[in-house]
Structure 1
Amino acid sequence: MLGHGYLNALMNAKSTVYGPLREKVGTLGNIYMDVGSGDPDFVTVRLGLFGSEELLVSLRGAVFTDGHLQVRFSKDVIRHSPSVDPGIKLGDAEKALLDGYYSAMDPDTGE
């Protein structure tokens, strides 16, 4: 997860989000903060034609490269993530669902 110091970098990031192989995944959307720590832990990524699909992706292991956000997960992994409405506040149940999915899909710890 990116620490609190990365919030400004996230807010100022160029809009393209890249996957682990530097492939374009989509466009950066909203930033979700952990209530306890105040650190960003998820962002939305807009996929598809004209950004018609907006999905949440974990910031675990994410880095900034050349002003762009690079996440650990491919477009396919993000596209198959649990359906969570990106327009609502993430509750404990939604965060647990997303954390479980992205933990299982993590290239270093999952399958």
Structure 2
Amino acid sequence: MIHSADIREWRDSSVVDPKGRKIGALEAIYVDTATDEPSMATVRTGLPTRQRLVFVPLDEAIVGPGYVKVAQTKGLVKKAPSIGTDEILPAEQEPEIFQYYDMAYRPGAGGERKLARR
């Protein structure tokens, strides 16, 4: 698992699947607003002229020298909900990401967002 203190160190690191296949480059970390712990990462994928950011959960992630290994396969992550490289995640799209990975989604008690970008 990536710890909050390590977040800035891992930006632009390779994100790989359990078999070591490169998915893309780590672009940003999204923390759980209730715990301030890393929850999701955005990964820059695609061709240089057609890049996008896909979301991947960080539970069970392993950090190594120059890489972050996630528990999901490359194929699963590549088909995940995405945003443009210059966009931010709209609040109404948060549940879609959790549903895609079959994860429970619970916004804050006051309806606030579940994820915050760091």
**TM class, shorter-length:** 0.7 to 0.9
What's the counterpart of residue 7 of structure 1? Answer: 4
Aligned 1:20-99 pairs, distance under 5 A: 20-50=18-48, 52-84=51-83, 87-89=87-89, 91=91, 93-99=92-98
For CA contacts below 8 A with separation 6 or more, give which structure has more relative contact order.
2
In 2, Cα distance between equivalents of 1:70 and 1:99: 19
Report the RMSD for the aligned CA atoms in angstroms. 2.4
Residue 10 of structure 1 contacts residue 69 of structure 1 at CA under 8 Å; is this kept in 2? no
In 1, Cα distance between equivalents of 2:40 and 2:96: 13
Bigger radius of gyration among the two = 2
Identity, in percent, stands at: 26
Greater per-residue helix proportion: 1
Structure 1: gaps (5+ residues): 105-111
What's the counterpart of residue 18 of structure 1? Answer: 16
In 1, Cα distance between equivalents of 2:96 and 2:83: 9
SS at match of 1:37: coil
Residue 4 of structure 2 contacts residue 38 of structure 2 at CA under 8 Å; is this kept in 1? yes
TM-score (norm 2): 0.70
TM-score (norm 1): 0.73
Structure 2: gaps (5+ residues): 104-118
